[in-house]
């Protein structure tokens, strides 16, 4: 695991955008695995800025997102579909028909998971997967458990995740209780992984996940076993190492 220490959130975002930009420059028709949450917003902003200056071209890029809430329509401003359009897709020259997320409105869990997993394989896999980190060590929506869930699946969100995400909803009751997410195997099959962590509130989980044992109780710990992971972490999140 390569670890790049960044001064702060802005520096982390610039470093991450540089890595994504290098990927897109080297392979213009690459498949990017994308993430939501507050952590990658600055990275998307930086990429948009470089796109506006003519320094990066997304016209041939395909994207697959990690996860999506089950039951939220696309037009709900908390859906990850809405998030990706607002923060990235609608601001660059990406071909929207080449952007993919799990369909949170599909009530048939088995069918949706099989469709999404198959789609990722049909694209030839993910060249670079962007990841954030949950406070309990989750990646995508792979919550702590007794074993690593392998492929795209539907999860019951943990109370702590609902609690952490309720700030975006009118109340905790409105946070969806389930989500579709790529599985650990799906994520581990990405050729390269770029993991971003920012803030003092993540310092403890950074230590546990990347300097502790590999265990499904801390899903992100499996990334220690991937051969090409870059962790970009700001000083606050690295303060317990
Ligand atoms: C959500 C997302 C994850 C994300 C995590 C951390 O649960 N499903 O993909 O990494 O939150 O979010 P944040 O970056 O806001 O801390």
137-179: pLDDT as tens digits = 999 999 999 999 899 999 999 888 888 888 888 888 889 999 9
Predicted structure pTM score: 0.96
Rounded to the nearest angstrom, the gap between the alpha carbon of residue 34 and the centroid of all alpha carbons in its chain is: 5
| Residue 95, domain member (yes or no) | yes
Residue 139 tokens read as: 């990646």
Catalytic, out of 67, 117, 127, 149? 67
The model's pLDDT over 68-106, given as tens digits with 9 standing for 90+, comes to 999 999 999 999 999 999 999 999 999 999 999 999 999
Pocket test for ligand 1, best of 37, 42, 158 (most atoms within 8 A of CB): 37
| Residue 240, domain member (yes or no) | no
The model's pLDDT over 51-77, given as tens digits with 9 standing for 90+, comes to 999 999 999 999 999 999 999 999 999
Which residues span the domain enclosing 13?
Answer: 2-226
| Residue 232, domain member (yes or no) | no
| Residue 238, domain member (yes or no) | no
Q: Is 75 a catalytic residue?
A: no
Domain count, the chain: 1
Q: Is 83 in the pocket of ligand 1 (CB under 6 A)?
A: no
| Residue 234, domain member (yes or no) | no
CATH code of 23's domain: 3.40.50.1360
Q: Is 67 a catalytic residue?
A: yes
| Residue 239, domain member (yes or no) | no
| Residue 187, domain member (yes or no) | yes
Q: Is 38 in the pocket of ligand 1 (CB under 6 A)?
A: yes
ipTM: 0.95
Which residue has the CA at smallest separation from atom 10 of ligand 1?
132
């Amino acid at each position: 695991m390569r670890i790049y220490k960044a001064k702060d959130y802005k520096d982390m975002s610039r470093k991450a955008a540089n890595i994504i930009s290098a990927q897109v420059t080297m392979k213009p028709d690459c498949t990017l695995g994308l993430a939501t949450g507050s952590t990658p917003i600055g990275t998307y902003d930086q990429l948009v800025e470089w796109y506006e200056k003519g320094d990066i071209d997304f016209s041939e890029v395909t994207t697959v997102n990690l996860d999506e809430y089950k039951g939220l329509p696309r037009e709900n401003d908390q859906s990850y579909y809405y998030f990706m359009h607002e923060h990235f897709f609608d601001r660059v020259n990406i071909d929207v028909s080449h952007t993919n997320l799990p369909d949170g409105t599909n009530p048939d869990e088995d069918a949706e998971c099989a469709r999404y997993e198959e789609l990722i394989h049909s694209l030839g896999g993910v060249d670079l997967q962007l990841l954030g980190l949950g406070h309990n060590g989750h990646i995508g929506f792979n919550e702590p458990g007794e074993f690593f869930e392998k492929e795209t699946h539907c999860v019951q969100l943990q109370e702590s995740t609902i609690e952490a995400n309720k700030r975006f909803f009118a109340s905790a009751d409105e946070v969806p209780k389930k989500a579709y997410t790529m599985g650990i195997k799906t994520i581990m099959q990405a050729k390269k992984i770029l993991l971003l962590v920012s803030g003092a509130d993540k310092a403890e989980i950074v230590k546990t996940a990347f300097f502790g044992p590999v265990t499904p109780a801390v899903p992100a710990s499996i990334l220690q076993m991937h051969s090409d992971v870059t962790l970009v972490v700001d000083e606050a999140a690295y303060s317990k190492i």
